[in-house]
Amino acid sequence: MCVNLLPFQLSIQYHPRVWGGQRLQVSPQNPIGEAWLIHEHNLVKSGELAGQSLEQAAKSLGADLLGYKYAGSRFPLLIKILDCADWLSIQVHPNDTQAVQLEGAGQLGKTEAWHLLEVETGAELICGVKAGVSPEQLEAAIRSSTVRDVAQYQAVQTGETVMMEAGTMHALGPGMLLYEVQQTSDITYRVYDWDRPASAGRALHIEQSVAVTTTKTASITPRLEAGILTQCPYFVLEKLVEPSTYTPDGSSFHALTITKGQATLQSAGQTWDLARFDSVVIPANCPEYSLSGHFEALRSSLP
């Protein structure tokens, strides 16, 4: 094991989207839909790993960074903040097996979870298919661009958490700012795009959508003040609100994001002052670390 492999921060990737808003703004000309906080292509900002991508660090450090629970060499999670000012496309993601079958060797599926940070009154999302819709009816709706008629709409509130398994048809609606944790995959099959022009990278994926979409609905966890918000075979998502000290056991990294207030992270005599949406990767073999301050934070790790 490495000695004192300390927490580190990454550069952020900002992605303009046609549905993006102003809350992640870095340029007034381009509404930002997604801020990729932790991703394998983000670069380490400081410390011994400075200038490396998270992908490079994961390959070179292996279990010291990722944890002994994980058998792969890729950093397995992607953490984002999304600012939704308009409807995202109705879409679906494949599971691991389907990703390889449809996209090639080495591809991963995409199960994801959303924690809703700010939700305007009346905001809603699509989280699956209405009860009673058969697979045959679903396929017909996908092929005829009438999936709005079979989609399950759900009003949501600040603080709720949505688990979206691969294969579940979904769409985020306007008026939401949210945290997303997902498998390291950017495979999205667009089922329907609200009649936007099918250009600029926004084509529909009808055959792929038919192949992977199920009649599932998502599970929604009511607001919790702290503790485990949701979990699945790919990740555990927790909410932290109290100053505390943690001792990693080597089984998994911790991906930490401040979502409210400010926090101070300390480990091995070093200090990091963290503001809203600042994120830190805490390696699996990191020494004991502590969080203090008045804050709310989300922490993702392997189950």
Scored b (16 or more CB within 10 A) or e, 103-131 reads: eeeebbbbbbbbbbbebeeebbbbbbbee
- CA angle, 107 then 108 then 114, to 5°: 145
CA distance 42 to 136: 42
Which residues does 206 contact at the CB level (< 8 Å), separation at least 6? 142, 143, 191
| Alpha helices (runs of H) in 62-174, residue ranges in sequence order | 63-66, 96-103, 135-143
Show the tokens assigned to 244. 């505390």
Amino acid, res. 238: E
Q: Is residue 276 annotated as a catalytic residue, yes or no?
A: no
With CA atoms as reference, report the closest residue to 206 among 102, 104, 124, 105: 102
Sign of CA dihedral 119, 121, 124, 130: positive
Catalytic residue among 190, 202, 223, 276: 190
- Residues with a catalytic annotation lie at 190
